[in-house]
Amino acid sequence: MAVISISRQYGSGGWAVGEKVAVRLRYRFVDQAMLDKVAHDAKVSVQSVQDIEKRAGDGWMAFFNEWASSLSVVRHVPGVSSEFDEEKYRLFLKRVIFEIAAQGNAVIIGRGAQMILKDRPDAIRVCLVAKDEDRIKTLMKRYAYDEKKADSVVYREEKKRLAFLRGFGVADPEDPVLYHAIINTSLVGDDGTADLICALVEAYERKNGKK
């Protein structure tokens, strides 16, 4: 009943690797599913949640302020009122991710799960990194960006990601001690990375008598 948290540098292949791991282990792949749950609880469209997750600062905070009062899940989180800010959004994420982790057998992509689940013994935390040039090429291929645009997006999104993670109270979200493994997808590739993560899960299950 392990849960896998995959943190990743922007453009390093987290989505592709997560899907491969989930298929091999027959785990739930929690990315779109998490958006679905947030949208369901909030009574808004999934597209609305996706749009907000792409923003930073006052823009997406203002959005949460608008509909937070309709969130039944928020009313059960201590300290969360109808007015949402960045910290309350993190509390909201914690509740959702804790629920998913309690059920086990899930692969969670991003959203600070490595911070939220850092004290759970059944949470296997992996961080994916890649060479800058490979991350830029990934964005050029996926979104048809030119090289200059891809370079700008990689830098901007990585800066936003690290700022958000620091808000969980960890001084250095890239501290290797947080993770069971840090894998360079430029060197290993998506399939090799998935192999290594599956091997970590198997080692955990052997150690804890799950197999």
What does the pLDDT profile of the chain (211 residues) look like in tens digits? 789 999 988 889 888 999 999 999 999 888 655 656 665 665 555 555 555 555 533 444 444 444 344 444 444 444 444 444 556 667 767 877 888 888 888 999 888 888 888 888 889 999 999 999 999 998 998 889 999 999 998 888 888 888 878 877 776 777 888 899 999 999 999 999 999 999 999 988 888 776 5
| Beta-carbon contacts of residue 81 (< 8 Å; ≥ 6 apart) | 68, 88
Angle in degrees, CA 88, 89, 90, rounded to 5: 85
63: phi then psi, degrees, rounded to nearest 5:
-60, -45
Indicate the SS3 state at residue 24: helix
Cα 19 to Cα 6, 13, 27, distances in angstroms: 11, 10, 9
State the pLDDT at residue 62. 46
- Environment class of residue 76 by beta-carbon count within 10 Å: exposed (0-12), middle (13-18) or buried (19+)? exposed
30: phi then psi, degrees, rounded to nearest 5:
-105, 95
State the pLDDT at residue 47. 55
> Which structural domains are found in the chain, ordered by start?
1-27+105-206 (3.40.50.300), 34-103 (no CATH)
State the pLDDT at residue 84. 45
Q: Are 124 and 204 in contact (CB under 8 A)?
A: yes
State the pLDDT at residue 206. 84
β-bridge partners, 1? none
The continuous run of DSSP H or E covering 116 comes out as helix 113-116
Q: Are 183 and 129 in contact (CB under 8 A)?
A: yes
Instruction: Write the Ramachandran bin of 130: left for phi over 0, alpha for psi from -120 to 50, otherwise beta.
Output: beta
- pTM score: 0.75
State the pLDDT at residue 196. 96
State the pLDDT at residue 34. 60
Can you point out the beta strands (E) in the chain? 3-8, 28-30, 106-109, 123-129, 181-184
Q: Are 145 and 200 in contact (CB under 8 A)?
A: no
State the pLDDT at residue 211. 56
Q: For the chain, what's the residue count? A: 211
Q: Are 108 and 4 in contact (CB under 8 A)?
A: yes
State the pLDDT at residue 162. 83
